[in-house]
Structure 1
Amino acid sequence: MSILWSLQLRRDAASVPFARRLLLGAMETAGVDPDVCYDLSVALSEACANAVEHGGAGGGPAAAYQVTAYLDGERCRIEVSDSGPGFAVDALCRCAAEPGSDAENGRGLMLIRKLADHVRVDNLPGAGGAVVSFDKLLKWRENAPLTAAV
């Protein structure tokens, strides 16, 4: 068994805890180790907060962002995308390095890199937007419902 869900959320601060609770509920119900649940929920919160803050201006489609999560027997993969201006080229290069102590931005991406196994930050082709995707190997509680069917 695997779990896949996708949401389109308004770029509003209230959407961040909603996405986090949905992910936590799915992982806890499936039997994912609590430490892994916590790490991924914090990483998702950071990615969603970035989309809310930087993901576009005005109303219409630019007022939304998307979250997709996929859990299978070994891994959880999460993707957060928006329709904003995307990352500046120099910002994409800086995403690989830790921000300096006086940096005003970049700590959320640094935290995601610390909590997840693989992180990718990129701009979407065409109309624009940014995507932050990350995954993490899963650990399971004993007798976890999801792994019993894998």
Structure 2
Amino acid sequence: MSIWWSLHLRREAASVPLARRLLLGTMETAGVDPDISFDLSVALSEACANAVEHGGDERAGVSSSAEYRVTAYLDGETCRIEVTDSGPGFPVVRGRRGALRSVHSTAEDGRGLGLIEQLADHVHYRNRPGRGAVVSFDKILKWREGALLKVS
């Protein structure tokens, strides 16, 4: 069995705990280990907070920047979460391999992205030119005994 869900949320601070509670409830029902659930819920909260703070293009007007999307996939041994906004995207700071990289850990902004990198197994940032940014991350799941989705 697999589970996926997608939320379209208003870009307001009150939406962050809603997404977090839905993820925690889904994971508890599915039987995911509580420590893994907690790590993913903190990472999700950081990604949502980033979308709320930076995810809109105020110059474009409210209609294009008032929402962001959260999608979660629990499938087999992996959970993947994507948070998509309609903001200006991440600043392009090229690393050695030409990929976007997160802001330096001592910078005033960007600490939440570093926390996501610490809590998840894989993290990917990408810009959608003219349409915003996507933060996606995944983590290998551990299961409680008798879990609904546990892979044998």
Same-fold call, TM cutoff 0.5: yes
Taking the aligned partners of 2:101 and 2:64, their CA distance within structure 1 comes to 28
Question: How many correspondences in the alignment?
Answer: 145
Match of 2:127 in 1: 123
> Using a 3 Å threshold, how does the CA distance of structure 1 residues 94 and 18 change in structure 2: closer, same or farther?
same
**Secondary structure at 2:89 match in 1:** coil
Match of 1:114 among 110, 114, 118: 118
Q: CA RMSD in A?
A: 1.7
Alignment partner for residue 60 of structure 1, among 31, 50, 63? Answer: 63
Q: 2:109 aligns with which of 96, 102, 105?
A: 105
1:52-72, Cα deviation, whole Å (9 max, x unpaired): 000012411311000000001
What SS is found at the alignment partner of 1:145? coil
Moved more, 24-33 or 51-60: 51-60
Per-residue displacement from partner, 1:26-49 (whole Å, max 9, x unpaired)? Answer: 000000000000000000000000
Structure 1: give runs of 5+ residues left out of the alignment: none
Question: Match for residue 138 of structure 1?
Answer: 141
Please report the TM-score for the alignment, with normalisation by the length of structure 1. 0.91
1:10 is matched with which residue? 10
Deviation, structure 1 residue 94 = 4.3
